[in-house]
Amino acid sequence: MASDADTAGAWVTVDASTRRRILAHTPEMMVVEVEFQPGGVGAEHAHPHLQSSYVKSGSFTYTIAGVARTISEGEGVVVPSNACHSAETATGGSLIDVFTPAREDFLPA
């Protein structure tokens, strides 16, 4: 089944140091690229989606359910559904996040 997005979507500004774009999605899964400037922070939050994050570039400290882990280019983590988590980067970098099901709140209105 083809995705709903044949090409990458437009960049969306999350905050002053972070932006994201949907690379592909179906109702069951979504692939998102997230770019962080040095010092960027993904504030602590939780959502019902299972999430996998792959570090495309840079280095990130992920805190998942109170446990911190630093991951670098080529490494990844899995965030369980409803787990409180955050990410921060001193270096800046890019993540590829995969969500299941798709993050409907990321879709354009």
CATH of the domain at 30: 2.60.120.10
106: in domain: no
Give the pTM. Answer: 0.90
Give the three-class secondary structure for 104.
helix
108: in domain: no
Say how far residue 67 (Cα) sits from the centre of its chain. Answer: 18
20: in domain: yes
Taking alpha carbons only, the member of 82, 95, 16, 14 closest to residue 55 is 95
In this prediction, residue 108 carries a pLDDT of: 86
- Provide the domain count of the chain: 1
Per-residue pLDDT of the chain (109 residues; tens, 9 = 90+): 344 445 579 999 999 999 999 999 999 999 999 999 999 999 999 999 999 999 999 999 999 999 999 999 999 999 999 999 999 999 999 999 999 999 999 998 7
Taking alpha carbons only, the member of 46, 75, 43, 44 closest to residue 58 is 75
33: in domain: yes
61: in domain: yes
Maximal CA-CA distance, the chain: 39
